Structure 1
Amino acid sequence: MDVAISATLAANEEVARRRRAGQRILNLAFGEAGLPVHPALRDALHQAAGSNGYGEVAGSRALRTAAAGYWTRRGILADPGLVVCGPGSKPLLYGILLALGGDIVLPRPSWVSYAAQAELAGVRPIMVPPPPGEGGAPDPGGVEAAVTAARAEGRTVRSLLLTLPDNPTGRLARPETVRRLAELARELDLIIISDEIYRDLVHDPAAAFLSPAEVAPERTVVTTGLSKSLALGGWRIGVARLPTPGLHRRLVAVASEIWSSPTAPVQHAAAYAFGEPPELVRRIAESRRLHGIVARAVAARFAKAGARVPPPQGGFYLYPEIDGFPGPEELAATLLDRYGIAVLPGTAFGDSPTAPRVRVATSLLYGETDEQRLAALHAADPLRLPWIAAGLEHLEEALARL
C-alpha cells in the first residue's frame, strides 16, 4: 500500500523548510490551536510525572468518569464503563474503524485523515457533499441514495461520520440535518461516529448544537480530546463514548494491540481538564472568543478580494473559493510560491480537483511566542496587536495582487 504523509503535517514541514531557507511564510495551513498550556494543567501533569506503570487499556477510572461527566453535562448519556481513552482522538478514530469494519460514509469535503484511515483499515469511504451552506455532515438524501447503491453492488456499509463543527469548512451542521441522519442511521442500520473535538469552540455559545448521541444514543460513537479546546496537541489524549458493550470490547481489543494504554501522567491531567474546573472553563471561553474574532477577520479579507467564503462558525478554519484557477492545487501553489501564504488545497479533503477551494487555518496568527499568544488571548481587540495586524496585512496585500 502506497501511503503518503498526512497533508496537514506535510504542509507544516514544508513551511518550516522554507522558513529555514529564509523565506517569509504566513502559515495558514496547519490546524494547531496556537495557544500556551494553562498553568493549572502543567501542575496537574507535574503531579503525576512519577506514574510510569502500564494502566488499564481503556484508560484510568478517573479519566473515564470525568469524560462521562463532561458528556452528561451536555445532554449525552455516557457510562464510564463504555468510555475508551487513547493517545489522541486520531488513533481512537482509526481503532473504531477497525472495530466496526465495513465501508463508511463521509462528508465531502472532510478532514484529511478520515478517508486515509478508512483505506488503511481496508474499507472504502463513500463521499457525500453536505447540504448547501452546511459542513461536517453529509446530505441525508445523498446518504440514503449512496448507501442503497453501494449495498446493491454487494458492499458492506456500516458507519457514517459527522464532524461538529467542521474541519475544513468551519461550518456547523443544522440540528435538522443531524436529526434526519440519526433517523437514517436507524433505518439503514448504521453506526454514527460523531467527531466533536471542536464542540467547545463554536463561536456563538448560544448557537443551536445537536449531537447525534442526543437523538440516537444507542448507535452513536462520540470522540473528543483536548488538542483543540485547550491547545494540548502535543500531549496526545482523546476519549471515545461507545454506545454498546460489544463495540466497547472490540475497540479495547484493538487498543490493546496498538497502544496498550494511554500515557499515565497525561491521563491524570486530562481527568482534571474534563472535570471542567472554573479556570479551564474561562480559558476555553477566552480561546473561543479569540478564534472567532481572528477567523472572521481572515474571512473578511478573502471576501473583500472577491472570494466566496461561508462565514466560519466554529474552530479556526474557513474554506474560501477563488475563481480564476483551474483547481485548488494551482490556487494553493500560487499563494505559497508567489505570495508566501501556505494553505491546503481542497483536494486534500476529498473535494473536487476542479473546484478552486482551499482550507485556511487561522490560529497560528496569534504569535510566535507564548507571550504574544497570551497577549492575543487577553487583548480587548487582538486584531490591533502588531504581529496579528502584520499577518492580516500580508494576507490582504497578497489577495489584492492575486
Structure 2
Amino acid sequence: MPEASVWRTSPNLALNQLVAERRAAGDDVVHLGFGESRLPAFAPLAERLARGAGRNAYGPVAGGDDVRRAAAGYFSRRNMPTEADQIVVGPGSKPLLMALQHVLPGDVLLPRPAWNSYAPQARLAGKKAYGVPIPAVCGGIPDPAAVRDVVRDARAAGGDPRIVVLTLPDNPTGTLAPPALVREICAVAEELDLVIVSDEIYRDIVHDPATPFLSPAEVVPHRTVVTNGLSKTLALGGWRVGVCRFPGNSWGREVRDGVISVASEVWSTLAGPMQEVAAHAFSEPPEIRQRLAASARLHGIVARAVHRIMVDAGAICRPPTGGFYVYPDFEPLRAHLASRAVTGSGSLQRHLFDTYGVMVLAGHHLGDDEDALRFKAATSMLYGDTAEQQEQSLAADDPLALPHVAHVLARVEETFTELCR
C-alpha cells in the first residue's frame, strides 16, 4: 500500500478550488495558476453532444469504430499513419497516461520541470520518477546528454528507468522542442532502449503555423506511444475526452491491450455522448480547423504579452511558442525579493497571492528546486469572465485592445512592476 503521504490533491486542482472559493467570497483574484483554456464550448460540438445523448450503452472499451477511425485520421494527417485498431479513447488523456504507468514496466524519466501529474502518477503506480534538467532552448524534453548520465547512474544503483515522458509543446514552459532536439532524444531512447510516451495534448496550439512540429512517433514509431485530447485545443476540459495512439507492431498491440484491460476495470468506456463529440472533432471539418487556428492565435498573442511583462519586470523567461504558459525565473532579483521574505518558489507564490491577489503555480510543484524563484503562469484564463467576452477575444484582430483583456493584463503588469521595484 502507498504511504499516507502519497495521498494529496494535485496542486493545480487545489489552487483552482482555492481561487474559486476566494472569488465566491468576493475577492478579486487574477488566476494564472491553472492550465484551463477559458473559452466557451464551440457550438457545433455542443450540438454533437446533444445528438449523442442516445448513446447510453456502454459500448467497446477502446471506443466505438467511428471515434477510433476519426482519431486514426487525425494522426495520419499529422504524418503518423494510423489504423483504428491503434487507438484507445478515454475520459481525458490523464487517465490514459495513468493506465500507461500501470502497463509499461520500469521507472520513469521526466523533464525537470514538468507537468505536476507525471511524477505522482508514477509513484502511485509503484515507480520511481527521475527528474532530468531541460535544455536551455526549451522545455518538454529532458536534456539528451543528461538522460544518458541519469540512466547510467540509476541502473548502476539498481534502478530501472525504461520510460521517458516528453511534452510537445511543453507544460510548463510554453515552448516547443525543435525537430533536431526531438531526433536527439529519440536516438538516446534507441541507444538506451527507452519507451517514449509523447504527451501531445497541446499539439494544435503552436502559435506560429509555420513552426515545424516533429513527433517522436515519426522518428521511432516502434517505441513511441502518443496521448492527446480535446481539453486544451477545443476548451473541453470539463468534458474529459482523451485519445491514445499505440505503435502498430506486436509490442504496441500488447501495450494497447494492457491499457484496455486497465480501462475495463476503471472507467469501462468513454461516455457515449463524448464519443459523438470526439468523432466529429477528430474528423476536423472546416469549422473545427478554423476554431483551432483562432484559438492558437489568441493563446499566442496573450502568452507573448505576459512574457513581455515578466521580462520587463526583470525575469529570465523562454519566449512562448506553443500552449499557453510562461515560466519566468526571478533569480536576477533574488536579493530584492529576499527583503520581502521571498526566498523560493513557495514563498513567491504565497506573496503574489496574499499581497496582490495573483495566483501562480510554484515551480517546486513541477519538480523544480524549492529555492528557485520560478513559477508557471497560465495565460489562458485572461480572455474575459463571460462567454461573450471570451468569444470577442477569440474574434478580435487585436485582443489586447479589448477593455476586458487590457484591464487584466494591466493588473498583471502592475503586480510585477510593484513586486520588482
Q: Residue 272 of structure 1 corresponds to which residue in structure 2? A: 280
1:87 maps to 2:63 = no
Given the alignment of the two structures, is residue 380 of structure 1 paired with residue 388 of structure 2, yes or no? no
Unaligned runs of 5+ in 2: 335-341
Q: After superposition, what is the alpha-carbon deviation per residue over 1:86-136, rounded to whole angstroms, capped at 9, x for unaligned?
A: 100000000011010310100000000000100111101111011112100
Report the counterpart of residue 173 of structure 1 in structure 2.
177
Q: What displacement does 1:20 show?
A: 2.3
Matches within 5 A, 1:220-299: 220-243=224-247, 244-299=252-307
CA drift of 1:151 comes to: 1.3
Structure 1 range deviating more: 194-203 or 20-29: 20-29
**Which of 380, 383, 388 is residue 363 of structure 1 equivalent to?**
380
Map of 1:185 onto structure 2: 189
**Distance across 1 between alignment mates of 2:126 and 2:83:** 30
Match of 2:347 in 1: 330
The residue type paired with residue 327 of structure 1 is G
For the Cα contact (< 8 Å) 1:130–1:138, is it kept in 2?
A: yes
Name the residue aligned to 2:337.
none
Match of 2:361 among 344, 353, 356: 344
What's the secondary structure of 2:109's corresponding residue? Answer: strand
**Cα distance in 2 for residues equivalent to 1:381 and 1:201:** 18
Two-structure CA RMSD over aligned residues (Å): 0.9
Deviation at 1:22, TM superposition (A): 2.3
- Using the TM superposition, give the Cα deviation of residue 141 of structure 1 relative to its aligned residue in structure 2, in angstroms: 0.6
Q: How many residues align?
A: 402
Conservation of the 8 A alpha-carbon contact between 1:77 and 1:214: no
Counterparts of 2:19 and 2:52, CA distance in 1: 35
Corresponding residue SS for 1:200: coil
Map of 2:409 onto structure 1: 392
Partners of 1:390 and 1:134 in 2: how far apart? 30
In the alignment, the residues of structure 2 paired with residue 354 and residue 131 of structure 1 have an alpha-carbon distance, to the nearest angstrom, of: 20
TM-superposed CA distance for 1:62, in Å, is: 0.8
Residue 142 of structure 1 is matched in structure 2 by 146
Tell me if the contact between 1:103 and 1:158 (Cα under 8 Å) persists in the aligned partners: yes
- Give the whole-Å Cα distance in 1 for the aligned partners of 2:310 and 2:150: 34
Deviation at 1:250, TM superposition (A): 1.0
- SS, match of residue 365 in structure 1: coil
| CA distance, structure 2, for counterparts of residue 386 and residue 203 of structure 1 | 23
SS at match of 1:201: coil
CA distance in 1, matches of 2:155, 2:90: 32
Identity of aligned residues (%): 52
The equivalent residue for 2:338 is none
Q: Structure 2 CA distance, aligned partners of 1:41 and 1:182?
A: 36
> Which residue of 1 is the match for residue 35 of structure 2?
31
How far apart are the structure 2 equivalents of 1:46 and 1:22? 34
TM-score, length-scaled by structure 1:
0.98
Contact 1:237 1:266 in 2 (8 A): yes
Q: Which residue of 2 aligns with 1:312?
A: 320
Match of 2:309 in 1: 301
Show CA shifts across 1:191-237 (max 9, x none): 10000010100101111211000000000000000001100101101
Amino acid at match of 1:51: R
| CA distance, structure 1, for counterparts of residue 225 and residue 82 of structure 2 | 10
Deviations 1:319-377 (A, max 9, x none): 01113242111111111100110001000100011110010001111011110100000
Paired residues for 1:108-147 under 5 Å: 108-147=112-151
CA distance in 1, matches of 2:315, 2:142: 24
Q: Structure 1: state its 5+ residue gaps.
A: none
Q: Distance in 1 between matches of 2:100 and 2:279?
A: 22
User: Structure 1 residue runs of 4+, over 6 Å off?
Assistant: none
Match of 2:54, SS state, is: coil
Supply the distance in 2 between the matched residues of 1:100 and 1:251 (Cα, whole angstroms).
Answer: 9
How far has the Cα of 1:157 moved from its partner?
1.8
Letter of the 1:135 partner, please give it. Answer: G
Secondary structure at 2:162 match in 1? strand
- Please say if 1:68 is aligned against 2:72: yes
